[in-house]
Structure 1
Amino acid sequence: MSAVCIYTIGDIEKVFRRSPFIDSDQNDEDRKKCVSDSTKINTEILRRVEKVSEMKEWVKPKLAPVLFNHHNYTRIFVDASPGNQHTVMFLSLSNGAIHKALQMESHSFIIAEYQPFNYSAHIFNLILNPSTKKLYVNSQTELVQIDVGNCGQYGNNCQECVLSRDPYCGWKKKQCTSETSGALHDVVHRNRSICLKDQASSLPRIAKGTVRDVDNSVKRITVPSDSSYFLRCPVSSHHAQYTWKTPEGSSSCNPQELKDDQCLLLIDSMTLNHQGEYKCESEEMGYQKVLAEYELRLSSAGRTFGPTVWIFVAVVFKSVWF
């Protein structure tokens, strides 16, 4: 488990000045004194500093934790540059991944997850160049540059761009772009109705409130009888709900069941009941999208051997055993 809290320099200085050390009820000013030449500090004072440097009072966070989840974070870099209206945090995980999170007043929202390395690695440092939006990450053996201002990853329409809640991105000139000046975006509320101002961003409608991924087409697949088969559905947002609509009803993908950014549907044993249309849809804050469509057909029965062959087999077995 990890928690991200906000502390102020003023509160830290206040505790350091007023609080006694944990081993004493007296305010030991000698141990707190800042000197220009440490070689002139009394040996006894140095001994007390070495023995105990912890204060009795706690430095309390300014607010409740702005981020609290089951991940194990190891490093943090905060982009709070003057040109930004919102604070963005980059947090490295113990497995080498990086979370990009938006810090709100009382909570945070994880925008994206990056995998800078092709293997699990401990991240030693991460530094952002605020002007270019390039994040530099180093492990023990590699230094990697990540373009955290890459807005094309959020899709090709206005609603997906707004739902990303990425303060580095906005919808402008019919694309999700890092040119946020004059762009459509709503980081606080993710109000996708602002996209109505950009009529060109709408996609072909297939049902009320639902859009189809125009790059997607129905895949027709023939599956042998009694065989197992996986259907795949790409996961673009971990904040959305994913549902498979099948001839036998509907089933949802739990976040714990997502594998390699795929929502998988397993058909254990193909039968006539499994023939038909399969559709995977996502839903996020009322925005629905068809991500994958399949049409499954049962293949014809396999070829069987004629009576002559079976008689021959019987003769062979007879010659072996008798």
Structure 2
Amino acid sequence: MILGVLFSFQNDAGGQRVLVNKWSTFNKARLVCSVPGPDGIDTYFDELEDVFLLRTKDGKNPEVYALFSTISNVFQGFAVCVYRMADIWEVFNGPFAHKDGPDHQWAAYEGKVPYPRPGVCPSKTTNQPSRQYSSTKDYPDEVLHFARAHPLMSKPVYPLHRQPVLVKTNLEHRLRQIVVDRVEAEDGQYDVMFIGTDAGSVLKVIALQRGNFAAVEEVILEELQVFKAPVPITEMEISVKRQMIYVASKVGVAQVKLHRCETYGTACAECCLARDPYCAWDGLSCTRYQAAGKRRFRRQDIRNGNPVHQCLDQNLTVDDFDNTEEKVVYGTEHNSTFLECIPKSPQATVQWFVHRSPEELRDEVKTDERIMKTEQGLLFRKLFRQDAGMYYCKTQEHGFTQTITKIMLEVIESEQLEQVFQREDEESSRQPCLVPDPRLLHGQRVWFKDIMHLIGYTNLQRVEEYCERVWCGDRQLRHKGRPPKSKNMLDGKKGRGKQHSERNRVPRQAAAT
């Protein structure tokens, strides 16, 4: 529950007789990062993952961003706390901790502190007319004995507002690294946090303080998958001048832009809902915010993200489905089908509606064990013919609703599939075909079985028969019209090569991998 922080100086040469070849300016303090709870019960984050020093206009008082984790029997969580350097120095200039009493409990040391103060390196301020200290080896033994016996400060270091600016629990991945950029926006300054995970991704997050700072709103702007392989991110460096982040892992180093305003859509409302301090609507597109730009066309609202107030030139109350491009998805009855819909904003709420026939009204899709709503779309675990219709994926955020996906779902009924099989059976009876020798396919996995792993096993046997006929029919077409080869050619090197390539062929319109 308590994490130690040590402060020491490079010009510490140790003591002459006490603390020889050891730090004589070593001090530590408790760095607290906890979530206040009822009845004084706090949730502590006690493992330090990473630290970032954010330079401010006051060069002597930077802010320290610390990423913590905790793994308990109850939950796994991560938190980011911010500390002022002035508060840290105040603790280290305060009273030392001391074990006192019969129970040896920690308490503030109230006795005399020797001079020079333990924890301070020799300098012009420590020199006295009667004695000069050019090195820590010149310190009196009394100072070194006190420093060895009292390394801990009595007061802890608390974060700003006495609470974390970001708390994440029960995540799929661990948070490892953090860098921060302070960005000027239309309505103030915002600290954008870039947090690296152990899965090769980077979270782009801002924390919004509300009112009396009792509540903090966390807004995830983006989640960037930097590395294809799920490898832990080991190092992150930010370049404000180049507007880049350099992300390192064991597989390499990647360069990531601080902002990608063009990905937030092509409308004023979409740019406003993104709530990215780097981006603003300039009248034509979502682009990089420039403080010196023309205010007439600039639209940005990070704190509230309210497009109704920012984009008055748009009709935000009419849900126009005709503006969304229509897609067609085919599904087989009694098999599984997936309708993809990924909202542009992580904060948006997704709703699905279906319009099955012109006579019926558009209804909201009711989810259950058969129809499931996921973060990526709508999953039909078992498709029925009455599921056919036009599906609308709508997102809602801060009172703004829009349709981002319109999908026509066509259901191939089982009777239709049987008719196809029956017709193919009749054709195959008139044109017999030789099925490949199973011995030639020994050790190989037939390609259509891989496909069936994806679409289901309901009609696996019938689909296998159909695919075999397609294979044989294609083989006959390839040999039809080709002059017969002599026995010498088949026995030669080219003949063997052709036989090998035919045995390993892939289906039509499928690329070899």
Which TM-score tier does this pair reach, normalised by the shorter chain? Answer: 0.7 to 0.9
Q: Distance in 1 between matches of 2:199 and 2:223?
A: 12
Aligned partner of 1:96 among 180, 189, 200:
200
2:164 to 65, 68, 71: 65
CA-CA distance at 1:218 after TM superposition: 2.1
Matched, 1:15 2:123: no
Aligned partners of 2:182, 2:330: CA distance in 1, in Å?
Answer: 54
Q: 1:23 to 1:250 in 2, by over 3 A?
A: same
The answer to whether the 8 Å contact 1:229/1:267 transfers is yes
Distance in 2, Cα, partners of 1:213 & 1:39: 81
Match of residue 316 from structure 1: none
- Out of 76, 84, 96, the position equivalent to 2:178 is 76
Which residue of structure 1 aligns with residue 327 of structure 2?
219
User: Shift of the alpha carbon at 1:54?
Assistant: 2.9
- Retained in 2: the 8 A contact 1:87–1:104? no
Structure 2: which 5+ runs fail to align?
1-76, 101-107, 124-134, 357-362, 427-513
User: Structure 2: how far apart are the matches of 1:121 and 1:94?
Assistant: 6
What's the offset of the Cα at 1:257? 6.4
User: What is the aligned counterpart of 1:32 among 119, 126, 143?
Assistant: 119
Deviation at 1:242, TM superposition (A): 0.9
Contact 2:220 2:346 in 1 (8 A): no
Is this contact kept in 1: 2:219–2:347, CA < 8 A? no
Aligned to 1:32, the other structure's residue is in SS state: coil
Match of 1:144 in 2: 254
Change (3 A) 1:155 1:49: farther
CA distance in 2, matches of 1:153, 1:138: 24
Paired residues of 1:209 and 1:286 also in contact (CA < 8 A) = no
Q: CA deviation at 1:50?
A: 6.5
Of residues 185, 190, 195, the one that matches 1:86 is 190
Q: Please list the CA deviations of residues 232-277 of structure 1 after superposition, one character each: whole Å capped at 9, or x if unmatched.
A: 1123221011112235742479xx9645xx22x2223333311222
TM-score (norm 1): 0.78
1:48: Cα distance to partner?
6.7
Q: Offset of 1:78 from its aligned partner?
A: 2.1
* Alignment of 1:269 onto 2:382: yes
- Give me the whole-angstrom Cα distance separating, in 1, the residues matched to 2:137 and 2:374: 59
Candidates 278, 289, 305, aligned match of 1:190: 305
In 2, distance between residues paired with 1:120 and 1:44? 54
Alignment-derived partner of residue 407 in structure 2: 294
- Counterpart in 2 of 1:117? 227
- The answer as to whether partners of 2:184 and 2:190 remain within 8 angstroms in 1 is no
After TM superposition, list the pairs within 5 Å mapping 1:138-287 onto structure 2. Answer: 138-180=248-290, 181=293, 182=295, 183-197=298-312, 199=313, 202=314, 208-212=317-321, 214=323, 216-246=324-354, 247=356, 249-251=364-366, 258=374, 262-263=376-377, 265-287=378-400
Name 1:4's counterpart in structure 2.
80
Tell me, which stretches of 5 or more residues in structure 1 are unaligned? 310-322
CA distance in 2, matches of 1:278, 1:298: 13
Q: Which amino acid aligns with 2:282?
A: K
CA shift, 1:209, in A, is 4.0
> Helix, strand or coil: the match of 1:188?
coil
For these two proteins, the number of residue pairs brought into alignment is: 297
Moved more, 110-119 or 45-54: 45-54
Residues 15-40 of structure 1: per-residue CA shift (max 9 Å, x gap): 11112135574365543222363454
Distance 1:116 1:32 in 2: 43
Give the TM-score, by structure 2 length: 0.51
Q: 2:255, 2:283 → 1: CA distance?
A: 27
Cα distance in 2 for partners of 1:187, 1:20 equals 44
| 47 and 291 in structure 1: CA distance in 2 versus 1, 3 angstrom threshold | farther
CA distance in 1: counterparts of 2:250 and 2:383, whole angstroms = 48
* Percent pairwise identity: 24
The aligned counterpart of 2:44 is: none
Contact 1:225 1:301 in 2 (8 A): no
CA distance in 2, matches of 1:228, 1:82: 48
**2:241 pairs with 108, 124, 131, which one?**
131
* Alignment deviations for residues 72-113 of structure 1 (CA, whole Å, 9 cap, x no partner): 433222223679732222222233322222233342422222
